[in-house]
A and B are shown apart, each in its own frame.
Chain A
Amino acid sequence: MGAQRKGATRAEDSDELARVPLQAILLADSFATKFRPITLERPKVLLPLVNVPMISYTLAWLESAGVEEVIVFCCAHSKQVIGYLESSEWLSQPNFSVTTIESHNSVSAGDALRLIYERNVIHGDFILISGDTVSNMSLTQVLQEHRERKKKDPNAVMTMVIKRSKSSPITRQSRLGTDELFMAIDPNTKQLLYYEDKADYSKAVICLDKLLLTDNSSISLHNDTQDCYIDICSPEVLSLFTDNFDYQHLRRHFVKGLLVDDIMGYKIFTHEIHSSYAARIDNFRSYDTISKDIIQRWTYPFVPDVKFGGNSATKLERQGMYRASVVQSRSAEIGPFTVIGNGTKIGSNTKISNSVVGEGCTIGSNVSIEGSYIWNNVTIEDNCKLMHAIVCDGVVMKSGAVLEPGVVLSFKVVIGQQFVVPSYSKVSLHEQPIKQDSDEELEYADNSSGIGELSSIAGTVDKSNGVMSSQLSGEQCQPTDELGTGGIGYVWSICEGSHEEEWRHSIAPIPADKLAEAIQTTEDDLELITQDGSVLPASGELKLDSIDSDDVDNEDSRDDSIDFEKEVEATFLRAVHENIKEDHVILEVNSLRLSYNKLFADCAGAIFYSMMKLALETPHTSASELCNNAVSVITKWKKLLKSYLNDIDEQIEVILTFEEMCLESAKEFFPVFAKILWHLYDKDIIQEEAVLKWDDEKKDADDSDKVFVKQSEKFIQWLREASEEEEGGGGEEEEGNQE
């Protein structure tokens, strides 16, 4: 493409290139907790992937792809990352500069990019990547595409690299263990139009904005691609993160934010790679998959027998077996697709297959290791059995210990004799943090523990090993019985929510029963689609378009409404318990209103709902007591409620909400409906006009709908008479009310 351009512009191009070296931002923190407990002690980017720290793959690829300057952003365990880089050769490469930016308070990629923006170190297009990416793709073409697009359309700020990889329709996850991804792409321009990665299983349909089809006559919708998490960005991306200070996650916030926002008109494009490799290690399953890909040489030249980024020399033997200088018993059997690190000793009759064993390990006799990842300086005594497990540095497995599929043993754990570690267990010397960082997933919180261990990373593992473990055992009473006799470490309990998902992200193959279960779910979903009228119009209802469309639209907004109501209720309760001023509550509710795109009437309804709920939850013995509770709550928070009731419609909404409550969620109010309605009128919260209008609206309703009108008949009657009497006076009163 570029070759066909006019000479003048080409000269300009190359000038531009000369001025701005190609930069990359490498996030050495995944801002996630998927690799816990390992990442409590070592940052994810330094975890060995086929015996080489992950970050080395990323850096080696960036260097080979022609990137000249890499800015490594370190956050969790930043000292370890910087220490590793300093001890490695990466800081001393010609034409490839690696600088680090350290932060201690970033909790997300968004924070990181905002900080980088402040530092003002990015001067042109850059590559945004996290330090756990393995790739061998060439950047030439994608960079050129990006630049040319940018020239034509300054709003084309990002190009995302994607690769075809169909996720399983049964388990709904890719081979990398990530959730299935739905994308809509313009087939001609490759513009990204829709992105849904956090799969919401409850929704059986994808909803594409109809406007998408006004500009393009065709869209291609993909469930067969994988996001490589390699982004070519224009400098605007950084300022966008700064402008939108609430953007945290690269995909969930930034990409979706740009796709939804049509005011600024920023566009994201995709670039599909076909023959080259690109994948990111997101979870244990992808760790397993990518390790195997490396062993099977998909990532060439980044494979064990080619030297890059300081890996030690190994030799490729037949059947995909790599061996460094290993002391091996004659009767030991090393199976296919296995890597054995330097200085490892293997005892007799031991079988190892489809596994990676690090450096300086001691493996006894009659050990069986299948599909496992054993890092450095691990001691495995005789007769142990390991299936699909990850075993970190310095672990000791006493004789006869067994690891069932999916086990993760963090640093220096000791497993007692004959002890069987059950499937999916995670064992660490650190206790499981009790407080879950529920609102934001971050690793940063545990930074402090890493600093002390820096020395162990630098290579003197053996020495510190003894010190550390003795230290630890001195400090804490080790729950030895948890891991058999002589075992050291805590077994982390699987948090409730993730229990179901454990098998998805583990390195162990998916168990057959889970697959069968998943198949069943798939079927049930189909059942749902064909039978549930609300998901898709049921038979024959298509013609009744108006009714049908209401149903469908409501479903979406209903979800939203429930969230909104919950949030308002939480805000209100907080205000009650903490005695927050009404003005502040109003501010908070207003911001909720804006973020959920709701009307004042919705706010009024939600606030009223929470007020009534509060009254209901206040202890009471009789209906009249309940009524009194309600009245006192109403009196106390009158101002709050009234600030949303400027309009008759909003007042009617309150009445309707109340009606609904009496019928559904809070039937206790049923007998006192009319009373409370009167109180609302009496307290100037609801004007007579609203009550009368509500009555009018209900005139044509079913009898069942009219129970409350009937209950309040007298009151309405009285209002009507009163309003007839004073005709003109009503207006004045209204004005008074509104102030």
Chain B
Amino acid sequence: MERGERESETPRNALSSCSAPMDFQVVVLAGGASKKLIPLISKEVPKALLPVANRPVLSYVLELLEQSNLKDLIVVVEGQDAAVRVGGWISGAYVDRLHVEVAAVPEDVGTAGALRAIARHLTAKDIMVVNGDLVSDVPPGAVAAAHRRHDAAVTAMLCSAPVSGPSESGSSGGKDKTKKPGRYNIIGLDPTKQFLLYIATGAELEKDIRIQKSILRAVGQMEIRADLMDAHLYAFKRSVLQEVLDQKDTFQSLKQDVLPYLVRSQLKSEVLLNGAPQAEENGNEKVNFQKNQVMVSRILANASTPSFHEFSGLGTNGSAPRTHKCCVYIASNRKYCARLNSIQAFSDINRDVTGEASHLSGYSFSAQNNNIHPSAELGSKTTVGPHCMLGEGSQMGDKCSVKRSVIGRHCRIGSNVKVANSVIMNHVTIGDGCSIQGSVICSNVQLQERVVLKDCQVGAGFVVTAGSECKGEALAKKEK
């Protein structure tokens, strides 16, 4: 939709690809309406524009990429309306910083489907695919470098799996503390922790772990980890990616289909590397025999081989090595890495970004460890605790208390209001004597007097009548 703009920007495009260290094209999958996030998202606010510390979540990825000098981006949004909104916001915010093209794809095509839809726009040697809901400070450039160093077919970024939800706040007692640390993936790595040998996601996690013996044979030792999470930031070799998408038209998800497929077929690759034609498939027997002789002599000589991929590759059919490498980049556990893919994650990320990972927010925090916009007004005896944010033009009455919460722009908050561990978006009106704990209040919501909310989500534009008490509920206007 913004093709024209792209044409006009050719000079800068050329410049940026010059200055970029590598020929990488980035696809940001900004999603659309995720069911998990209802009622936080709506037609007006697609997932990509959900606020994290008062700025859209997508901005975190875009700025992260910008820092790694990856400026040639395609942002893929599900649904035309959402695409228009996201596009509008990006062109406003990043007009002279990034070269962004926004593409709309139909809803429910899945991540692989989305890439298929924009495949013709992919031209670079390598493609980086990142989810728009990633909030992280792990440099994508490092992933790209690891990818290039190994000449890998795919490189996945792994980060430490979050241990649990909010632990310190006693007030949010609603979360069961007996819950085990969440399990996101089961990942098999080689001893050097550079190659991805096994990955289980989703429902596979509930089953027994099934490891291919052939891969284990080739590599000798495999480390199986349950404490790592696929961060949904991948670098693909474009030829491989496009071939897989073309050939396997049933693949819907990068994470559940494409990546596991590439991982399990890495020693018996069916993809063409670099688009080079495969050596004669049913090549004559003589060649095979000679190759086998080479192989045999190598085994007899007990030659140690530099890489298990090469070793296995040698054996195959006398043709060119038919292996591809699946690599990983494991982020240091000091880095922050989270995905905004659930309501819980939304609350957690908002809390983290205003708290321990405040460097991500891009704001400077005061000596009290909070950020109150100069234009915000506070009544008397109102306290705003550490790790809080108060947006531009918001007003609070007397004797209010705000703890570990984010309050958006232009909110009107009455007196004697208590807000803890919550996120309040923009233009929210809160009556006197309300108490809000562990909740998310979307934009334009009106809470009348003495409303008590605990662990609730209130959808955009909803009106909560005076004196209501809710616990663990999702309140939203009926759509449609």
A interface residues (Cβ-Cβ under 8 A, vs B): 166-170, 172, 180, 182, 184, 187, 203-210, 212-214, 216-224, 509, 512, 515-516, 519, 522-523, 525-527, 529-530, 536, 539-543, 545, 549, 552-553
Please list 7 pairs of residues, one from A and one from B, whose beta carbons are closer than 8 Å in the complex, sorted by A's number: A184-B224, A222-B222, A530-B268, A540-B250, A542-B257, A543-B252, A543-B253
Chain B residues in 8 Å Cβ range of A214: 180
Flag if A204 contacts B214 (CB, 8 Å): yes
- Would you call the interface of chain A mostly helix, strand, loop, or mixed? mixed
Q: How far apart are the CA atoms of A509 and B268 in the complex, in Å?
A: 29
Flag if B214 contacts A208 (CB, 8 Å): no
Closest to B218 in A: A169
B398 within 8 A of A: no
Q: How far apart are the CA atoms of A169 and B313 in the complex, in Å?
A: 12
Flag if A224 contacts B221 (CB, 8 Å): yes
Residue in contact with A205 in the complex, picked from B212, B225, B257, B295, CB distance below 8 Å: B212
Apart from A169-B311, A182-B213, A519-B292, list 6 A-B contacts with CB within 8 A. A203-B213, A205-B212, A208-B209, A210-B206, A515-B292, A536-B212
Q: How far apart are the CA atoms of A209 and B206 in the complex, in Å?
A: 10
The 9 closest A-B pairs by CB, nearest first: A540-B250, A224-B220, A545-B203, A217-B227, A526-B268, A208-B209, A169-B217, A205-B210, A221-B222
Q: How far apart are the CA atoms of A465 and B172 in the complex, in Å?
A: 90
Shortest Cβ distance from B215 into chain A, in angstroms? 9
B445 within 8 A of A: no
Flag if B211 contacts A529 (CB, 8 Å): no
Flag if A545 contacts B221 (CB, 8 Å): no
Flag if A530 contacts B203 (CB, 8 Å): no
Flag if B186 contacts A213 (CB, 8 Å): yes
Chain A residues in 8 Å Cβ range of B256: 542-543
Shortest Cβ distance from B218 into chain A, in angstroms? 5
Residue in contact with B213 in the complex, picked from A205, A541, A543, A552, CB distance below 8 Å: A205
Q: How far apart are the CA atoms of A541 and B217 in the complex, in Å?
A: 26
Flag if A182 contacts B226 (CB, 8 Å): no
Flag if A187 contacts B223 (CB, 8 Å): yes
B80 within 8 A of A: no
Flag if B222 contacts A540 (CB, 8 Å): no
Flag if B268 contacts A515 (CB, 8 Å): no
Flag if A207 contacts B210 (CB, 8 Å): yes
Q: Which of B9-17, B258-266, B272-280, B410-418 contacts A (4 or more CB under 8 A)?
A: B258-266
**Interface code B384-397, partner A: CB below 8 Å = 1, 0 otherwise?**
00000000000000
Shortest Cβ distance from A473 into chain B, in angstroms? 43
**Interface code B421-436, partner A: CB below 8 Å = 1, 0 otherwise?**
0000000000000000
B20 within 8 A of A: no
Shortest Cβ distance from B201 into chain A, in angstroms? 8
How many pairs of A and B residues are in contact by the CB < 8 Å rule?
151
Shortest Cβ distance from A542 into chain B, in angstroms? 5
Flag if B257 contacts A540 (CB, 8 Å): yes
Given A223-B217, A530-B264, are A217 and B207 neighbors across the interface (CB < 8 Å)? no
Query: Which residues of chain B from 163 to 201 have any CB-CB distance to chain A below 8 Å in the complex?
Result: 180, 183, 186, 188
Chain B residues in 8 Å Cβ range of A222: 220-222
Flag if A210 contacts B207 (CB, 8 Å): yes
Number of B residues whose C-beta is below 8 Å from A?
A: 56
B367 within 8 A of A: no
Flag if A221 contacts B214 (CB, 8 Å): no
B208 within 8 A of A: yes
Chain B residues in 8 Å Cβ range of A208: 208-211, 224
Flag if B212 contacts A218 (CB, 8 Å): no
Q: How far apart are the CA atoms of A509 and B301 in the complex, in Å?
A: 12
Flag if B216 contacts A206 (CB, 8 Å): yes
**Residue among A212, A217, A509, A525 facing the most chain B CB atoms (10 A cut-off):** A217
Q: How far apart are the CA atoms of A214 and B315 in the complex, in Å?
A: 38
B267 within 8 A of A: yes
B119 within 8 A of A: no
Flag if A515 contacts B299 (CB, 8 Å): yes
Shortest Cβ distance from A371 into chain B, in angstroms? 14
Flag if B224 contacts A205 (CB, 8 Å): no
Q: How far apart are the CA atoms of A536 and B268 in the complex, in Å?
A: 14
Flag if A221 contacts B186 (CB, 8 Å): no
Chain A residues in 8 Å Cβ range of B180: 214
Q: How far apart are the CA atoms of A660 and B78 in the complex, in Å?
A: 48
Chain A residues in 8 Å Cβ range of B260: 542
Residue in contact with B223 in the complex, picked from A220, A224, A536, A553, CB distance below 8 Å: A220
Chain A residues in 8 Å Cβ range of B206: 210
Chain A residues in 8 Å Cβ range of B293: 512
Given A180-B217, A509-B300, A540-B257, are A519 and B295 neighbors across the interface (CB < 8 Å)? yes
Flag if B188 contacts A221 (CB, 8 Å): yes
Flag if B209 contacts A207 (CB, 8 Å): yes
Q: How far apart are the CA atoms of A214 and B227 in the complex, in Å?
A: 10
Closest to B160 in A: A217
B151 within 8 A of A: no
B379 within 8 A of A: no
Q: How far apart are the CA atoms of A224 and B216 in the complex, in Å?
A: 9
Flag if B224 contacts A209 (CB, 8 Å): no
Closest to A224 in B: B220
Given A168-B299, A220-B224, are A204 and B212 neighbors across the interface (CB < 8 Å)? yes
Flag if A206 contacts B210 (CB, 8 Å): yes
Closest to A509 in B: B300
Chain B residues in 8 Å Cβ range of A209: 208-209
Chain A residues in 8 Å Cβ range of B216: 182, 206, 221, 223
Q: How far apart are the CA atoms of A222 and B293 in the complex, in Å?
A: 29
Shortest Cβ distance from A441 into chain B, in angstroms? 25
Given A224-B221, A526-B268, are A206 and B211 neighbors across the interface (CB < 8 Å)? yes
**Interface code B46-90, partner A: CB below 8 Å = 1, 0 otherwise?**
000000000000000000000000000000000000000000000
Given A169-B311, A210-B206, A549-B207, are A539 and B218 neighbors across the interface (CB < 8 Å)? no
Closest to B255 in A: A542
Flag if A529 contacts B268 (CB, 8 Å): yes
Flag if A523 contacts B220 (CB, 8 Å): no
B125 within 8 A of A: no
Closest to A556 in B: B208
Residue in contact with B225 in the complex, picked from A167, A180, A218, A543, CB distance below 8 Å: A218
